[in-house]
């Protein structure tokens, strides 16, 4: 069996790997959903993963943006741990006031994300967090939204990267930090 690997080392990668449940056929046939709910439910494991993200960036960000929905969980924990704010990147129609929006293709359809137009102070360094990096569509849309809303990208972190889908190539000019790569 191959050792778990990720950008924060084999221990964190293995910790996440042991907390992922594959769910075939969700949200549709042909997709294998990577359920990270067991990781979020395990307090010590969730703390260790949060600390790994904080350690990786060493405070080199001013605010954390979490991508709906599971990205909210880790983003809020990282923001709390470092004493910075957290900004939600939501599905279309969920945010009040003026927003920026970006539509994108994902492996089983299309979607639109939004962020409030005044979410970031000009020049603030924004750490973007999501649970899974698959094709890179969600990431690409979110990173462009951060910049359109005035933020400067400090980094992009995911718990799990599905390497075989090639998202790093799609995001080649962006800093990607994946705690587990499969």
Active site residues: 70, 107
Decide if 120 contacts 151 (C-beta within 8 A). Answer: yes
The residue written with tokens 């470092």 in the block is 82
Whole-angstrom distance, CA of residue 82 vs CA of residue 105:
33
The strands making up 99-106's β-sheet, listed across from edge to edge, are 99-106, 109-116, 85-91, 63-67, 125-133, 152-161, 176-181
CA atoms within 13 A on the CB side of 4: 20
Whole-angstrom distance, CA of residue 117 vs CA of residue 51:
30
């Amino acid at each position: 069996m191959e050792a778990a690997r990720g950008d924060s080392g084999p221990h964190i990668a293995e910790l996440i790997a042991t907390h992922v449940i594959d769910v075939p056929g969700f949200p549709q046939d042909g997709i294998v959903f990577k359920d990270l709910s067991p990781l979020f439910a395990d307090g010590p494991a969730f703390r260790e993963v949060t600390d790994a993200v904080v350690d990786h960036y060493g405070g080199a960000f001013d605010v954390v943006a979490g991508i709906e929905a599971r990205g909210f969980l880790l983003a809020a924990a990282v923001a709390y741990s470092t004493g910075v704010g957290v900004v939600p990147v939501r599905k279309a129609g969920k945010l009040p006031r003026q927003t920026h929006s970006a539509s994108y293709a994902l492996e089983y359809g299309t979607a639109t994300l939004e962020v409030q137009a005044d979410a970031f102070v000009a020049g603030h360094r924004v750490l973007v967090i999501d649970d899974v990096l698959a094709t890179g569509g969600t990431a690409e849309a979110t990173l462009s939204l951060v910049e359109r809303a005035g933020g400067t990208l400090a980094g992009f972190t995911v718990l799990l990267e599905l390497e075989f889908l090639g998202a790093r190539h799609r995001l080649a000019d962006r800093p990607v930090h994946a705690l587990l790569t499969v």
